[in-house]
């Protein structure tokens, strides 16, 4: 039996079913990330696990115990919210110790636990400050510490980095990864950022319209997406998905796609840019994004549809190409993904 198990979990608001009979198993110590576009139901599913949103049907089991009907305070879970939800009039020490004081834990034990958590999160120098005297990253660490000090069976994170700037988001993401490694705690993390999902997760759960599209390790989802939605959602820049009817020449140069009537997917790093006159496809540069360590080249290929077909190539080298330049393009045949017209992946 899995450590945390969802069985047919369903939730509707009025006539809209936002979570549709979700089944999921999470093992002890796993770091599982729920990812998907806005409105896909990932935060609602997390709140159902936490007991903050009522489940219409189905069940949630934790460590062999059915917790579906338990109040959130009785589930032995701790949640970290997108908004830090700190008590503004309390010091960092009092915020960290609040739940323990409510539980009438011995003061010496509280002091020991709080100082240990503060040490882990580099908050020891800030214990007497109030939240307004902290940076956004420090406030988020206090919110995480408040969850850690309770020693719950499962940590739940609801988009905890969304309020941070890009640099601080990357730094805090690394801290969360280190924290999980050190604590070995079972963690469920919600985000819309697929970079966070790829870098943090043991397994990623991709959600769309309240249903699970695919579950797997980050690289499994990247290398073997189950459908067009997952293929485009996982990976930056997103996979090129090209209709064979719009660009017949592509299927003819890709051995696996010969005679294929559907969609062909190619990761940008597997699109090779050649000088004009070389390569099996001819295109024209529309845009060049120079990112320092890598370069994205957007090219337009003449196809069967008005305006042509756009394809993105990613390369590690810098380029002298400019918009309007003619280029040749090749595709690594072994790297293509085939999808039928319903968007489902076909066996290679």
3-state secondary structure 10-51: EEEECCEEEEEEEEEEECCCCEEEEECCCCCCHHHHHHHHHC
pLDDT, position 194: 86
On average, the pLDDT of the chain sits at 90
With a cut of 90, say whether residue 106 has pLDDT above it: yes
With a cut of 70, say whether residue 1 has pLDDT above it: no
The C-alpha atoms of residue 106 and residue 256 are separated, in whole angstroms, by: 67
pLDDT, position 59: 96
pLDDT, position 259: 62
Find the length of the chain: 348
pLDDT, position 256: 52
Confidence of residue 182 (pLDDT cuts 50, 70, 90): confident
| Domain ranges within the chain, ordered by starting residue | 4-229, 237-339
The mean pLDDT value for 263-282 works out to 92
298-347 pLDDT per residue, tens: 999 987 666 789 999 999 999 999 999 999 999 887 788 999 999 999 87
83-93 pLDDT per residue, tens: 778 889 999 99
pLDDT, position 313: 96
Highest mean pLDDT among 179-193, 218-232, 255-269: 218-232
The C-alpha atoms of residue 142 and residue 336 are separated, in whole angstroms, by: 45
55 contacts 83 by C-beta, under 8 angstroms: no
The C-alpha atoms of residue 173 and residue 56 are separated, in whole angstroms, by: 34
Q: Which residues of 311-330 are buried (b: 16+ CB within 10 A; e: fewer)?
A: bbbbeeeebebeeebebbbb
Confidence of residue 247 (pLDDT cuts 50, 70, 90): confident
pLDDT, position 163: 76
The mean pLDDT value for 257-284 works out to 87
- Tell me the CATH architecture of domain 4-229: 3-Layer(aba) Sandwich (3.40)
End-to-end CA distance of the chain: 33
pLDDT, position 176: 86
DSSP E strands in 197-278: the ranges are 203-208, 211-216, 240-243, 263-266, 271-275
The mean pLDDT value for 33-51 works out to 95
155-175 pLDDT per residue, tens: 999 988 887 777 778 888 888
DSSP state string for 269-281:
GGEEEEETT-SSE
pLDDT, position 265: 93
Q: Do domains 4-229 and 237-339 have the same CATH topology?
A: no
Break the chain down into helix, strand, coil percent, rounded to 5. Answer: 30, 30, 35
pLDDT, position 251: 77
Question: How would you class 20 by CB atoms within 10 Å of its CB: exposed for 0-12, middle for 13-18, buried for 19 or more?
Answer: middle
The C-alpha atoms of residue 208 and residue 187 are separated, in whole angstroms, by: 21
pLDDT, position 189: 95
With a cut of 70, say whether residue 130 has pLDDT above it: yes
Greater model confidence, 83 or 27: 27
Q: Report the C-alpha dihedral over residues 121, 199, 180, 141, rounded to 10 degrees.
A: 30
With a cut of 80, say whether residue 255 has pLDDT above it: no
The domain defined by 237-339 carries CATH number 3.40.980.10: no
The mean pLDDT value for 91-102 works out to 92
């Amino acid at each position: 039996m899995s450590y945390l198990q969802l069985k047919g979990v369903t939730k509707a608001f009025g006539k809209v079913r936002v979570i549709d009979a979700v089944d999921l198993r999470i093992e002890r110590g796993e770091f599982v990330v729920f990812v998907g576009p806005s409105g896909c139901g990932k935060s609602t599913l997390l709140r159902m696990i936490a007991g903050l949103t009522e489940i219409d049907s189905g069940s949630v089991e934790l460590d062999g115990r059915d917790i579906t009907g338990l109040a959130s305070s009785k589930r032995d879970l701790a949640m970290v919210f997108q908004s830090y939800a700190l008590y503004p009039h309390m010091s960092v020490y009092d915020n960290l110790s609040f739940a323990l004081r409510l539980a009438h834990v011995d003061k010496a034990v509280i002091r020991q636990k709080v100082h240990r958590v503060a040490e882990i999160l580099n908050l020891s120098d800030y214990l007497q400050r109030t939240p307004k005297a902290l940076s956004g990253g420090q406030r988020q660490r206090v919110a995480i510490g408040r969850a850690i000090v309770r020693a719950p069976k499962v940590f739940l994170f609801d988009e905890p980095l969304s309020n941070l700037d890009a640099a601080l988001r990357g730094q805090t993401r690394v801290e969360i990864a280190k924290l999980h490694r050190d604590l070995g705690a079972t963690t469920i993390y919600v985000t819309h950022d697929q970079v966070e999902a790829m870098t943090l997760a043991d397994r990623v759960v991709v959600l769309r319209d309240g249903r699970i599209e695919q579950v797997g390790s980050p690289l499994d989802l990247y290398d073997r997406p189950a459908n067009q939605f997952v293929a485009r959602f996982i990976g930056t820049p997103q996979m090129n998905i090209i209709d064979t009817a719009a660009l017949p020449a592509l299927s003819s140069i890709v051995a696996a796609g010969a005679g294929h009537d559907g969609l062909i997917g190619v990761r940008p790093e597997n699109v090779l840019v050649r000088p004009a006159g070389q390569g099996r496809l001819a295109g024209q540069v529309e845009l060049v994004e120079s990112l320092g360590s890598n370069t994205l080249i957007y090219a337009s290929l003449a196809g069967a549809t008005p305006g042509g077909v756009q394809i993105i190539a990613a390369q590690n080298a810098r380029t002298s190409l400019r918009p309007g330049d003619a280029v040749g393009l090749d595709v690594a045949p072994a790297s293509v993904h085939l999808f039928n017209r319903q968007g489902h992946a076909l066996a290679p």
